[in-house]
Amino acid sequence: MRKHMDMVTPTLPNRITSNPRTRMDHRTHPRAHPWTRPLGRFAAAAALAGAALLALPAGSVPGTGLDAQVPAPRQDRAVALVGATIHPVSGPAIQGGTLVFENGVITAIGTNVAIPEGAQRVDLSGKHIYPGLIDAWSSVGLFETGGIDVAIDQNEFGDLNPNVRAAVAFHPESRHIGVTRSNGVLVTVSSPSGGLISGMASAMMLDGWTWETMTIRDKAGLVVNWPGAQSPSNYNQALADLNDAVATSRAYLAAKDAAATEGRLFATDVRWEAMRPVLDGEVPLMVVANDVRQMQDAITWAEAEGMRIILVGGRDAGYIADYLAEKEVPVLLSSVNSRPGRNWEPVDHLRALPARLHEAGVRFGISGGTSAPYANRLPYEAGVAMGNGLPELEALRALTLYPAQFLGIDDRVGSLDVGKDATLLITDGNPLEYATTIDQAFIEGRDIDLMDAHRQFYERYSEKLRQLQGRPVL
């Protein structure tokens, strides 16, 4: 039952806006013997757009002399994308559809759509439109360079930090933002880590001048590091600490409410204060758990406390798939394109895990789960699941709609539907496939600069090569 899968034949991307600042010239076939010419496609483009490139403000990434990307201006005019295959992911694909967005919000989608007066009409025949991908467990914005503790803003001091929020530490000019975006990931749920209760993960869109304008939801989920059960005594102690934290929070909030009723003064505790939306079920727990026992104990705990839970990690979720389906507990898988945890497990154990969960009816998303420099690999994590039995639409939803639903940001992102943000990708094929080119991206209707640090390095050193023109280096 082997089927030949033809590679998507790369076609010439159409330019849909004129943003001479960064747009690449795609007039050459992107993969036609690129190094038979001394200068590659981007270098050629850089040469064409050289003046504009040089005009970029310099030096905002310390130590590189390079520039992070310039955030895009607010959408000031309706845009109608016409003729593409639209993949809303909330429903079936629309061939030859039209998608209209205005003021950053999708206003129409379908095959029979009236294009508003004055809208910019862009012909995208042969192209595909997808919602922007979401890395639902990420460290983008919080992690810059390994080996330097002070460049990593993830682990706050102590075990119980429900009050800290990732959003306020999100570095808007992190080099990893541009690189991540270039591979189609337009939203990250950037997450603290460490301790028992690590803090609030924040849903961030990957464009903006400040963390404030980039924030979709600052309290998307409360990250809990479920302790490891290898040492029974440590495990029991950690569980006791977690239980105590919840009990103390409840006592604190009850005492505070009582004090308010009675008009008494009350001393604030920011940690227990931060637990209120979690105890109210407004903010879900994101419990990092991989072992069967961890996952089951975490669910038992969350149920007993009446809190919403999302499991993060889920390496062994396949062993309790029916249980997870029965409990309707969502799982954010964190390593799919990866090794089996045990020698006896089949080589594709994790790659086939999404398909296994799908068959069992478990709700799941797929996250990056690695450090910020590798958030750009997210599409391939779901792609490999597709190659191991997960239907294509489910693979896409695992990177878009599902995590948005779990984390309560599906009113803004996660699918292409009227009323949601125009946060989308224009591609020449499925963004989960290696050969696919991401031509363009919009975030809240803003036309995003897909230049990034990696391409800037490339262009700079293409210039070195060009200057030598085949002469000896000395």
Residue 146 binds another protein, judged by CB under 8 A: yes
Residue 301 beta carbon to another protein: minimum distance, rounded to whole angstroms: 17
**Of 136, 215, 209, the residue nearest 168 (C-alpha):** 215
User: Segment contacting another protein (CB under 8 A): 113-121, 157-165, 273-281, 376-384?
Assistant: 376-384
Q: Choose, by CB under 8 A, the member of 25, 273, 291, 411 that binds another protein.
A: 291
User: Segment contacting another protein (CB under 8 A): 156-164, 220-228, 355-363, 379-387?
Assistant: 379-387
Residue 346 or 419 having the CB closest to another protein: 346
Residue 284 or 429 having the CB closest to another protein: 429
CA distances from 19 to 99, 175, 276, 450, 468 (A): 21, 21, 46, 11, 30
User: Segment contacting another protein (CB under 8 A): 12-20, 33-41, 108-116, 236-244?
Assistant: 33-41
Residue 76 beta carbon to another protein: minimum distance, rounded to whole angstroms: 31
User: Residue 30 carries which side chain, given as an amino acid letter?
Assistant: P
User: Segment contacting another protein (CB under 8 A): 49-57, 105-113, 243-251, 459-467?
Assistant: 459-467
Residue 346 binds another protein, judged by CB under 8 A: yes
Interactions with another protein, residue window 216-235 (CB under 8 A): 229
Q: Choose, by CB under 8 A, the member of 200, 324, 386, 407 that binds another protein.
A: 386
Angle (nearest 5°) at CA 435 between 430 and 437: 70
Residue 382 beta carbon to another protein: minimum distance, rounded to whole angstroms: 9
Residue 63 or 118 having the CB closest to another protein: 63
Q: Residue 159's CB: how many other CB atoms inside 10 A?
A: 15
Q: Choose, by CB under 8 A, the member of 228, 293, 360, 363 that binds another protein.
A: 293
- Helices and strands: H and E segment counts in the chain: 14, 16
Residue 251 binds another protein, judged by CB under 8 A: no
279 and 271 in contact (C-beta within 8 Å)? no
- Extract the runs of DSSP E, i.e. beta strands, from 410-474: 424-427, 438-443, 446-447
Residue 77 beta carbon to another protein: minimum distance, rounded to whole angstroms: 30
Q: What is the DSSP string of 71-111?
A: PPPPP-S-EEEEEEEE--SSS--EEEEEEEEETTEEEEEES
141 and 204 in contact (C-beta within 8 Å)? yes
Interactions with another protein, residue window 302-331 (CB under 8 A): 316, 319
Which helix (H) or strand (E) segment holds residue 120: the answer is strand 120-123
**Whole-number Å distance between alpha carbons of 124 and 109:** 14
127 and 85 in contact (C-beta within 8 Å)? yes
Interactions with another protein, residue window 179-198 (CB under 8 A): 179, 183
Q: Choose, by CB under 8 A, the member of 156, 207, 433, 447 that binds another protein.
A: 433
Residue 264 or 339 having the CB closest to another protein: 339
Residue 281 binds another protein, judged by CB under 8 A: no
Sheet with 185-190: strands ordered across: 133-138, 185-190, 197-205, 215-225, 285-289, 309-313, 331-333, 364-366
User: Segment contacting another protein (CB under 8 A): 214-222, 252-260, 357-365, 373-381?
Assistant: 373-381
Is 126 strand, coil or helix? coil
Q: What is the phi-psi region of residue 26: left when phi exceeds 0, alpha when psi lies from -120 to 50, beta otherwise?
A: alpha
357 and 331 in contact (C-beta within 8 Å)? yes
Residue 73 or 346 having the CB closest to another protein: 346
Residue 197 or 438 having the CB closest to another protein: 438
CB within 8 A of 167, min separation 6: which ones? 190, 200, 202, 204, 211, 214, 215, 218
User: Segment contacting another protein (CB under 8 A): 290-298, 303-311, 360-368, 399-407?
Assistant: 290-298
Interactions with another protein, residue window 53-92 (CB under 8 A): 64
Q: Choose, by CB under 8 A, the member of 154, 180, 376, 400 that binds another protein.
A: 376
**Whole-number Å distance between alpha carbons of 299 and 292:** 11
Q: Choose, by CB under 8 A, the member of 87, 271, 412, 455 that binds another protein.
A: 455
Residue 347 binds another protein, judged by CB under 8 A: yes
**229 burial level (CB within 10 Å; 0-12, 13-18, 19+):** middle
**Whole-number Å distance between alpha carbons of 190 and 167:** 8
User: Segment contacting another protein (CB under 8 A): 29-37, 207-215, 282-290, 302-310?
Assistant: 29-37
Residue 147 binds another protein, judged by CB under 8 A: yes
Residue 149 binds another protein, judged by CB under 8 A: no
